[in-house]
Structure 1
Amino acid sequence: MKKISIIGVTGSIGLQTIDVIEKNKSQFEVVSIAAGKNVDALRGILSRIDVRRVCMKDETHIAALKLEYPNIEFTYGMDGLLEVAHDDSDMLVTAILGSVGIRPTLAAIKQKKDIALANKETLVAAGAIVMDAAKEAGVQILPVDSEHSAIFQCLKGEDKKAIKRLMITASGGSFRDLERHELDKVTLKDALNHPNWSMGKKITIDSATMLNKGLEVIEAKWLFDLEVDQISTILHRESIVHSMVEFVDNSIIAQIGNSDMRHPIQFALTYPDRLPMNNPLDWAQLTQLNFKEMDLNRFKMLQYAYDAIKIGGTMPAVLNAANELAVSEFLKEKISFLEIEQIVESAMNHHQVIQNPDIDTILHVDAFYKNNRF
């Protein structure tokens, strides 16, 4: 039985991870979980699975929860997240949102835990440090993002020298059918209406701006140890082909399946084994699959991501932090949709890049650009 801990358990990926675990109870034991502030969602989880420890975002509800669940240890904040990372589980699922996932991920790696990585910001901001730590500790970083899970599966048994390029597919997000000039008037409600996937609010907005795909490009560079020029993106509105790998002989391997995040979650949790799942792809319902070249002038945030990783150093952390600030403002309806990219561009123009940063420098830069707009 594999021991699992989860940070970000009340978010979209966290809840779907609980679905997978609940359907395979003989395979998994959940040791610790970390939630945000959604106590109702937490109660729902605790009615479905047994855990030893719960970490909350802050101490607001701790006293009441201790009375309600006397057999569970409750902690909070970053110290609590690090306690989860240091428990006796075999794997940490990093479903938490944002760069707050960096420190617990590194702590878990040092404890020689495998990582089921759904927190892409960790590799975006600190990819070199995290991958070096994983290599030194001899642990696996197993991607939970559907695109990176697809690439991981396509590369199984392949020689790195045979890789020509990765092709990361993108649905196009909520505004894929709009021209750029039409984005002036879009609303928050419009942006949150993703055509294919059920996701959290922040990642849904990132999908609409296409920054999510940009973060995935950066994440793929570190996960698969490739040059940025070997990583391309392609519009694929059906989200059936989750990504592809093209090899030097021009053959292409693709991973195909329904738009259901529980598939890549289960793959990461059970790797190297595979367990049965419901909801198979119905080929009879597929009338066509569409692919289209990505227009980087239309999707400027994707271009910013390519720029950031090519510049390197602290620039990807700035890209990510400024985007977190901008999306937070957009979700509060304080700025327009197109102002998101303006905030990110201004932050990148302002920043003086530090090459080969240590983790403290990365976290300092991250905090600065999450709290300052230029």
Structure 2
Amino acid sequence: MAAGPGAGASVSPAPRRLSILGATGSIGLNTLDLVAAEPGRFAIETLTAGRNARQLAELAIRFSARVAVVADAAAYAELRDRLAGTGIEAAAGAEAVADAAARPTDIVVSAIVGFAGLAPSLAALGATPVLALANKETLVSAGPLFLAAAQRAGTRILPVDSEHNAIFQVFEAGNADTVSEVIVTASGGPFLRTPKSELAAVTRDMALRHPKWRMGPKITIDSATLMNKGLELIEAYRLYPVSVDQLSVLVHPQSVVHGLVRYRDGSLLAELGVPDMRTPIGYCLAWPERRPTTVKPLDLSAIGSLTFEAPDRDRFPCLPLAEAAMRRGDGAPCVLNAANEVAVEAFLAGQIGFLDIARVVEATLGKIDGEGGLSEPDSLAAATELDGRARKIASACL
């Protein structure tokens, strides 16, 4: 029998279809940086953004996306006009973002910031075999609901957060019963050495100067208050078969060790790398393989030394508030997250001080708990209702 066309030659695999929810944020842009570094490996299905129609259109055209969706309906006209004649479908609104997330693809990167990422993340389940989750609020606000839905849909959840991606790499699922501790590391943020007496005078610009990571404003403020570590503890509790007492935070200013897992035999396994989100993103895009990325190799000799210390829960009360919400369970993490989003937005707008963030969160949790309203959300509607209720109360506490 005669050989067919190309017999004996290697055939390039078809590009993997990729959708990015939150394409104009730091995670989305880093993902697209990796896509650009390997032409032909990915085909972009969908790109979404919050309200930046100009940048979204530019990215959609550059990467030949099939669909571009902006969550803010007021930005639709600009997006439509910028994409006119390109063949790229334009849409707008929260429902359109969820519909775009539900388009069949090989992998979805969910990087929408805040509670707004929950509905699209849920919509993506079943439409993709792999969901690379960078939206921690999905697991914090409705973790049991989301993970149960993912299991039913057969979608594998891969954590993109550097800490949880690190833990994922060193957590031996087959030896889960021998794990004694899971450690989430923290840089300590810009105020690691700032006396408590000076924190009240912290300004927006000061809090946005993160010493190691380049991130969006919301997560940067969360890093400054250590709320980000509290949210990540809750996220770890959802992702891994461990108890609350097996989770801890370790401050590591160099941000080289991203996560650690201690085993019963005394072994302590860690993942190390330069503080660059392209490493965990690249890991998720290639999983279960490992492929080169554009990240420079870690040079330990140039760093010289790595230091670790316990977090100061007195100067950073958001961390113990998150830990208490994790122990309280039910709807407490959802309320914690909603109140924090309101408080951080108010701080960024200059409406409250830095220390008021923890005050607003604590007051909101106390108010709803006192009213008996901390039931675990069992549906998207229930999570949305609890989130909205918490936001209303938090706004009244500003």
The 3-state SS of whatever aligns with 1:335 is coil
**Contact 2:52/2:70 (8 A) holds in 1:** no
1:337 Cα offset (Å): 0.2
RMSD: 1.4
- Partner AA of 2:270 in structure 1: A
Asked if 1:55 is matched to 2:69, the reply is yes
Match of 1:370 among 374, 388, 391: 391
Letter of the structure 1 residue corresponding to residue 361 of structure 2: V
Mapping 1:1-374, distance limit 5 Å: 1-69=15-83, 70=85, 71-156=87-172, 158-278=174-294, 279-351=296-368, 352-359=372-379, 360-373=381-394, 374=397
Task: Please say which structure displays the higher CA radius of gyration.
Answer: 2
Shift of 1:157: 5.7
Q: Distance in 1 between matches of 2:79 and 2:374?
A: 44
Moved more, 62-71 or 170-179: 62-71
Distance 2:392 2:71 in 1: 19
> CA separation in 2, counterparts of 1:64 and 1:321?
30
Cα separation, partners in 2 of 1:20 and 1:179, compared to 1, 3 Å: same
Runs of 4+ in 1 over 6 A off after TM superposition: none
Q: CA deviation at 1:65?
A: 2.9
The structure-2 alpha-carbon separation of the partners of 1:108 and 1:219, relative to structure 1 and needing over 3 Å to count, comes to same
Does the residue aligned with 1:337 lie in a helix, a strand or coil?
A: coil
Q: Is contact 1:112-1:137 (8 Å) kept?
A: no
Question: Per-residue deviation at 1:206?
Answer: 0.2
d(CA) in 1 for partners of 2:121 and 2:173?
27
Contact 2:52-2:75 at 8 Å conserved across structures: no
Instruction: Calculate percent identity across the aligned residue pairs.
Output: 40
Provide structure 1 residue ranges, at least 5 long, that are not aligned to the other structure. none
- Report the CA distance shift for 1:217/1:334 in structure 2 as closer, same or farther (over 3 A): same
Shift in alpha-carbon separation, 1:29–1:249, aligned structure 2, 3 A: same
Contact 2:48 2:56 in 1 (8 A): no
Quick one: which amino acid aligns to residue 361 of structure 1? A
What is the alpha-carbon distance in structure 2 between the residues aligned to residue 180 and residue 277 of structure 1? 41
Q: Quick check: 68-77 or 209-218, which moved more?
A: 68-77
Say which is worse superposed, 145-154 or 70-79, in terms of deviation.
70-79
Provide the TM-score with structure 2 as the length reference.
Answer: 0.91
Amino acid at match of 2:306: L
3-state secondary structure, aligned to 1:296: coil
TM value normalised by structure 1: 0.97
Instruction: Confirm or deny: 8 A CA contact 1:55 1:80 kept in the other structure.
Output: yes
Larger mean Cα displacement after TM superposition, 330-339 or 154-163 = 154-163
Structure 2 gaps, min length 5: 1-14
The whole-number CA distance in structure 2 between the counterparts of 1:112 and 1:73 is: 20
Deviations 1:232-279 (A, max 9, x none): 000000000011100011210000000000000111111001111241
Rounded to whole Å, the distance in 1 between the matches of 2:239 and 2:375 is: 20
State the secondary structure of the residue aligned to 1:68. helix
How many aligned residue pairs are there? 374
Structure 2 counterpart SS, 1:341 = helix
Separation in 2, partners of 1:356, 1:371: 19
Moved more, 79-88 or 331-340: 79-88
User: Which moves more between the two structures, 86-95 or 67-76?
Assistant: 67-76
Amino acid in the other structure paired with 1:290: T
Cα displacement string for residues 71-95 of structure 1 (whole angstroms, at most 9, x for unaligned residues)? 1111111111111121121222111
Distance 1:173 1:118 in 2: 20
- What's the offset of the Cα at 1:112? 4.6
Give the SS at the match of 1:291. coil
Structure 1 residues 149-158 or 283-292, which shifts more?
149-158
Q: Match of 2:210, SS?
A: coil
Letter paired with 2:41: Q
State the 1:213 CA deviation.
0.4
Partner amino acid, structure 1, of 2:254:
E
